[in-house]
Structure formats: C-alpha cells, structure tokens
Structure 1
Amino acid sequence: MSDSVIDLGELRHDSDPDPMPRPPRGHGRPLRCALVLLLALVTLAAAAVSPPRRTPVTLQAQRGSDIMVDGDLLLVMEPVNTSTRQGRLSAYRLPGGELVWQAPLSAEARYWGMKPLGGMLLATGFEIGPEGRDILTVALDRATGAYRWQQPGSVSRLADGNLLLRSGGETLPSNLRAVDPCCGTVRWQLPPTTAEVSVRDTGHGVDRLVLNQENGMVEVRDATTGAALAHADMRPPGGARLGIDLIDDLLLAIDRGSGTINAYGLDRLDRRWTRASGPIEFALDCGPIVCLRTGGNELQALDPATGDVRWRSDRWLWGWPYGGRLMANISGFGPMEQYVVIDALTGRQLADLGKWELYQLDVGGRLVGIRRHPDGGMLVSELDIAAGKVRIVDVLPDATGECQAITGYLVCSAAAAGSYQLWKLAD
C-alpha cells in the first residue's frame, strides 16, 4: 500500500463501526448498536513481538464523518453542511485512495449509517419532519454514486435479498414493509401498528418478525412475505406487557415482574418449557445455551431444550458464543474490564485473554484488540477464542488512539494534528 492522502472533511467518533455490543433486549442485531469495550494490557512477552509494519493511507479529516470499507471502496459520509443543508458521500479506491465519485445527500438529515447491498449503498439518517424526527434511507448506485430512491425508515436486509424498512416507533405507530433494493418497489407492507417489533436475523438476513401487542397478543410473521405464521394471547397475570427475546428457533416470553420465562417454538408458538428465574434483565443467544442476565447480578446458563440451569456465576457480566465456547467479560465496568474464555456447557474458565479495547470486524468474525504500546503507537492483536490465545498482528507507530474498526482495517487518530490513518490488518 503506497502513501496516500485523502481529504475527507470530518471523521466522526460516535459512528457505527462494529465494536463488541451490549446484548440487546430483543435478539436480532444489526449487528446494529454499538459500544466499545475498553481494555488495556497484555503480557510482556506478547508486547515484545514485532510484526511487520504496513504503510497506512493518511486521511486529512476532522470530527463528524462516518467511514465504511466495502470491498475495494473506502466510503466516507460527511455531515450536513450548515450553509447548503446537504451532506456528501464520497468513494475512494483502495489501496491508493483515488477519488472514484462524490454524491450529495439531498435531504436535510443527519446521516449516521451505511449498508452495502446488491450493488447499492444505503445511507440512513434522521430527518426533521412535521411530527418530529423521522428516519430516512437513501439508496445510491455503488459504482457511480447515482441516486436511485429514498424512503422513510431504517433498513435491514431480509433473508431473500430484499429490504425491510421500519418507520415510526416510540410514540408513533410503526410501519413495516419490504422493498426491492433495486428500485424501492414495495413487496409487502403491514398496517401501522403500536406493537413492539422484534426480528430474528439468521446471519444471512432477517427471516422472522414478532409483533408484541399491548393487549398481550403476540404474532409471528414470515419476514420475506409478510404472512402470519402463528399468534397467541400471552398476557401475564397483572396485565403487564411481556418482554420478547428471539433465540434461534425459540421465542422467550419474559414476565419481568415475576421473573417467569415461557419458551415457545417460534413458528407455531407451541409451549416448550416454563421457568421461574427471578428478576431478569435480558436473555441472549450463547450458542449451545441460553444466557440470562438476572437482576441479582448473575449470569445463568439454561439448556435451550428444557430450560434447566446448567450453571450460574456472578463473575461474568455477559458472553458471546464462538464455536461451543463463550468469550465473557468479568463483572464490572470501565477501562480495566477483562475478557476470559469459558466452556459454554459447564461455565469453567479455560483461558484469560487479558485487557483490551476490543472490536469485532464482522458479525461472528475476527476479534481485534488494541492497546497503547509502551514505546508509542498502538499494539494490535487478534483474539482466538477457540485456541484461548492472543496473537499480536501489528504495531501502528503513529496512532494515538480514538480508533474505529471497519472490515479489514483500523482507522485511528494520528500524531499529526487533524489527521487519521487507515491501516489494513494482517490476514
């Protein structure tokens, strides 16, 4: 990679690269929520490793932009200009950083996220409308930046390659519809609803929707067709609305007041098991087990087939599944948080990974940790959960921190004022 300088405008630090996220109440990512888990040290032996250094692309940038790498394109979404009331999306060719195209984002919105899909780039942001703040998605051609369509709502990829758009929510009814990514043509849509909406994302797109109504009625729909698959009245005693979590083929209906969980088969809503666990904060998918975070500051591991408790611990805050193992963080918050590897079925600790600022490059993908190098710059490592090891992969000599992880790359602030550097990570 040769030295290059790209003038990007402003680089935002509260953007949506993929730091390891706090598990949401409803299962179904997307991949999209973000908090950075701050961690600090690794062993002296690991720190002494000196991997080959790479020549970065230098970005002359200030705060405020969003960055994404899609294949051989570096995409930069600049904030709305106060004089023109327009944002701008620019595409640069990697590895050299040559400008390919620039496109205005014409709506008066604060754009905050991008998604690539089927030769398109989807930019999503907030637009101020007559009823308050609305969400807007604009589709651009990836090759040229040409405008294709725009519609209200945030966007998720469906399992069949189409898009799910959701607008409204919070104090307004939700509107759900599926559209063709090529031109925004509506495939199906539902009447406005005040239901809480949960989705199941298989990793290849959303395939199920669950609508949790205030009156206790819960409905499951096929997300690719909009067709209803099952419905049931699940109102608990006292009439409070249930919490719904989707884990693989289970729908967990959680009465947070009593701490009772009823597990149902997702497609037919046939009851599988019931368990009283006391106050529950959330449930999450931990691979071969269901993890519960309780109000008693405890992580419980349930058998997904029976609901039986396999193990419990007040040492772990929460966990992420990797091939039958869990990466868990030790209970507590702040920069001294620490990661370990545990056996998912027994809760036994297998390895200590140390303390890192940790990023996940893709859902279920590589875990990259960074910390300050004692001789300056940033030390970059890869965490191998299966092996329970940390591997040093790079040293970024001019990086000073404030990093973002994007697919295959790290962007960090550099020693030179007003500049950032883009490093390609080792394979």
Structure 2
Amino acid sequence: MTVIELGERREAAPAAPPRPPRVPGRPARLLLVLALALVTLGGAAPVRARVPGMVPAPPGATPFQVGDRLYVTAPVADASDSHELIAYPLAAVADGGGRPAALWQAPLPGRGEVFWLTELAGVVLVTGPTSGDDTFLTVAFDRATGERRWQQPGAAVGGGGKLYVHLGVSTGGSGAFRRLDPATGRALWSVPTPPDSLRFDFTAGRTGRLVLVPAEGPTQVWDADSGRRLRAADLTPGRPSRHQRAQVVGDLLVIVRGETVTGYGLDELDRRWQVQLAQVAFVTRCAALICAEGPTGGLRALDPATGRTVWSDPRWTLLAERDGRLLVTAAGPVASWPMRVLDPATGRGVADLGDWQLAGGSHRDAPLIGVRWVDGRRLAVARLDPTAGRAWIWDVLPGVQGGCQAGTVLLCPRQDGTFALWRLDR
C-alpha cells in the first residue's frame, strides 16, 4: 500500500454532500474518476479496489460494533413500532465482499431504541428508553442464540469487566446504582444515589471506584467491586454547591465551581490544590497532565500535582490521546477539521495531518480514521497516526454516505440502503 504524508494540503468538503447521480454500466469511467481523485489526494492509488461486505440497513437502522460481531437494531418490516436486534459475524467480512448471514434475530422490547450495547459474560446487553415514559430498560440476550435472558429497569454501565445499572438517571430524582450478575441479572449490591451526583473511576489495573458528589452533604467514594464505602467527607461544609461540575481524572476528583477549580485526592478526599480559571466546561486526562477545555474549545493543561497551568492554547479542542500524543482540531464551528498533533508536555505542534473529519469510534481505543469528501461525491479515507505524525491514505470510496464508524471494520451507510463493511487490517 502506498503511504502518503499529506502535510498542509487541503480539500474543500461540503458538510452535507449532494447525492451523486448513478452511472450504471460504465466501470471504466468509474475507475478513471477514482484514479483521478486519488491523484488529487497525493499522486498514488491502492493496487486494487476493495470490495465491501454488505448488510441490510433499512431506514431507522443503527449499527453497533462489538469485538467480532456487528449488531444492528432495525424496525421490523410490516410491524408498526416493532424493532429487532440482528447479529452478524464480522469474521465473514473480507475484501472479497459478500453478505454475511445473520446469526440470529430477536425482538426488542419497549420503543426499540438502543443507545448502549456491549457483550459481557456470554450475553449481549442493550439499554434504551422504555415505552411511554422517560425511564430506561436494560435487556440481556444470549450471545449464542439471541434468546432473552433477563431485563431490569435502569441504564447499564460497564467498567472493569463488571456490569452496573443506574436507576433514576433520567428522572432528575434520587435513584440507585447497582452491580448486577450479567448472566442472571441478580443484584449483587445497591447504593442510593442523589440526583446528578454519580461519577466513575475505572482506571485500568486498579479496582474501580464510584464517586457520589451531591449538591448538599458529604462526597462519598465506594469500591465498585464490593459495594463497600471507602471514604466520605463534606467538601463544602455549610454551603450547598448546586452549580458544580465534578470529574474523576486519574487519582483526582476535580470539581469546578464557577471559576474555581479544585483537585481532591480520591483516596482521602483531601484538597490538593485550588486555582482560578475562567470558562471551564470539562476536564480530562492529557497524557501525564490534566486538560481543561472551554465551552467552545481552547485547551489549558494543568499539572495534576499542583494545578499550575503548564501551557494553554485557545485554538484547539481535544479529539483523542494516543501513545503520548494529543490529536486536536480547531476550536469552535469550522467548515473543515484541521487535524494537528501536539506534544502534551509543551502544547507544541509536532505534526499537521491535513483536514479531516473523524469517523465515529465503536470504543475508546478504536482506530483513528479520517474522512473527507472529494468533489462532493466520493469519500477519501485515511488512517491518522499521531505517533508517526502522518495520515496514511487508505482508499477513496464511491457510493457511500457520511456517518462512517470505525472499529473492527470500517462501516459506512450506502445510498442503496445497505451498510458497507471493509476490514481495516487488510
């Protein structure tokens, strides 16, 4: 495969490309246009065109990639307000194309909408809204057969290989947080939760913790494995904090109250530092530092030991961190997405990957895939490599729409009512 470093090249790309006209029966012309598009992107083309696998994608269908499976939720044909879950094997997807046969189909309860899906302990877990109200339902299907094993009210949360369900998440009132046995749905323990107070810490290699940060009363840290309370402390004695935002970042609980940002140690809930910062919307990990981002972008990197500002740059918003490098794009609304790589220790730019939009990821460590339109009709696809500081041209795809998803495969909706699937490791 040819490797191209794009550098500063630009391709104008409309936000909503027009539907291209079909040109049946002209493969030679199509190959010529594809070759010219690749020349525009860098002067070389793949050795051969990739032929995708296909699965049906009726209107309203939603795909979820999990491991070696593709799950699709879709309306049932000729059945009003009924939806089903369909499982497909991703191992059957190869450059040779074809249509993987469905492994099983199962009816979905309630509205049939699903916003969270994963696999755990031999079951497929889905969460969506129930019919007629604003609460949520979690359902477990047997991974091998699609048989429904159990269902419980609440929104499911996965972490550290465990299953948790949060009740009352959508009502604004008090609820509960439970750990469940994924095979049976049996509750192993339950903790009452004040409204809008729940935070998580599932750092790899360490026992998970859940943190309750209520507007009034003590902040509490619980062991997410056993349900045992580890620590409680009133962080704002004598005064409620109804407009605070809290986030677990590494070993710290970071709380934003107006322009005051405070870092507390998770083990003892002791105050480590406090700084004044304007316009902080949220905080997250930036390699060894903490990044505070404004409501419309702009990054400020903080020393987690002292809260001191190490560097700041109003131009960027954070997209991802990989192998000690930060992938950022322009802050605020932009017509195109300039992809840059920063050194997290200094905020210095180390690579320009060109203008791309990031394909949606099926999980946190999903491949970083950039897409952009060529002539408004074909989708250029590149692997974004922050470590090497390069964008690797992968292909230019005709006949697809936006909304691509990167995971085990690259999945793109097509204009003919199917999902097209390409293996990214080929």
**Does TM, normalized by the shorter one, top 0.5?**
yes
What is the identity, as a one-letter code, of the residue corresponding to 1:54?
A: R
Q: CA contact under 8 A between 1:79 and 1:111: conserved in structure 2? A: no
Q: Which residue of 2 aligns with 1:362?
A: 363
Does the CA-based 8 Å contact 1:203-1:363 persist in structure 2? no
CA–CA distance in 1 between the matches of 2:366 and 2:239?
43
Residue number in structure 2 paired with 1:32: none
Structure with bigger strand share is 1
Partners in 2 of 1:312 and 1:207 — Cα distance? 31
Equivalent residue for 1:63? 59
Structure 1 residue 194: deviation in Å? 2.9
1:326–1:342 CA contact under 8 A, matched in 2: yes
1:112 aligned onto 2:87: no
What is the root-mean-square deviation of aligned Cα atoms in Å? 2.9
Tell me the residue number matched to 2:106. Answer: 103
Which is further off, 364-373 or 201-210?
201-210
Q: Is the 8 A contact 2:84 2:112 kept in 1?
A: no
**SS where residue 42 of structure 2 aligns?**
helix
Rate the CA distance shift 1:220–1:388 in 2: closer, same or farther, 3 A: same
Kindly state the Cα deviation for residue 234 of structure 1 after the two structures are TM-superposed.
Answer: 1.6
Report SS of the residue matched to 1:133. Answer: coil
Which residue of 2 is the match for residue 274 of structure 1? 274
Amino acid at match of 2:210: L
Judging changes above 3 Å, is the alpha-carbon distance between structure 1 residues 421 and 59 closer, same or farther for their aligned structure 2 residues?
same
User: 8 Å contact 2:381–2:396 — kept in the other structure?
Assistant: yes
Cα distance in structure 2, aligned partners of 1:205 and 1:59: 39
Asked if 1:253 is matched to 2:250, the reply is: no
User: How far, CA to CA, are the matches of 2:49 and 2:338 in structure 1?
Assistant: 27
Structure 1's 99 and 266: CA in aligned 2 closer, same or farther, altered over 3 A?
same
Distance 2:207 2:342 in 1: 29
Q: Which residue of 2 aligns with 1:328?
A: 328
For the residues of structure 2 that align with 1:144 and 1:276, how far apart are their CA atoms? 55
1:211 maps to 2:243: no
> Which residue does 2:46 correspond to in 1?
50
The residue aligned with 1:122 is 125
In structure 2, distance between residues paired with 1:125 and 1:82: 22
What is the CA-CA distance between 1:114 and the residue it aligns to?
1.7
Does structure 1 conserve the Cα–Cα contact (< 8 Å) formed by 2:38 and 2:396? no
Distance in 2 (CA, whole Å) between partners of 1:120 and 1:269 is: 37
Q: Return 5+ residue gaps in structure 1 as ranges.
A: 1-37
Unaligned runs of at least 5 residues, structure 2:
1-14, 18-36, 94-98
What is the letter of the counterpart of residue 266 of structure 1?
L
Matching residue of 2:75? 79
Query: Who is 2:315 aligned against?
Result: 315
Report the residue type matching 2:214 in the other structure.
Q
After TM superposition, give the deviation of residue 293 of structure 1 in Å: 1.9
C-alpha distance in structure 2 between counterparts of 1:82 and 1:179, whole Å: 36
**Amino acid of the residue matched to residue 116 of structure 2?**
G
Once the two structures are superposed, the pairs formed by residues 408-427 of structure 1 within 5 Å of their partners are 408-415=408-415, 417-427=416-426
Deviations 1:36-95 (A, max 9, x none): xx7999994536433532221233432211212344433221137784653211123333
8 Å contact kept, 1:382–1:390: yes
Q: What SS class does the counterpart of residue 56 from structure 1 fall into? A: strand
TM-score in terms of structure 1 length: 0.81
C-alpha distance 201-52 of structure 1, shift in aligned 2 (>3 A): farther
Change (3 A) 1:237 1:403: same
The DSSP-based 3-state class of the residue aligned with 1:74 is strand
> Sequence identity, in percent?
33
CA distance in 2 between counterparts of 1:296 and 1:181 reads 39
Aligned to 1:182: 183
Q: Which amino acid aligns with 1:61?
A: A
CA contact (8 A) 2:263 2:272 kept: yes
Letter in 1 for 2:215: E
Q: Are 1:402 and 2:402 an aligned pair? A: yes
Letter in 2 for 1:87: H
CA separation in 2, counterparts of 1:383 and 1:329? 13
Distance of aligned partners of 1:108 and 1:152 in 2 relative to their CA distance in 1, 3 Å threshold: same
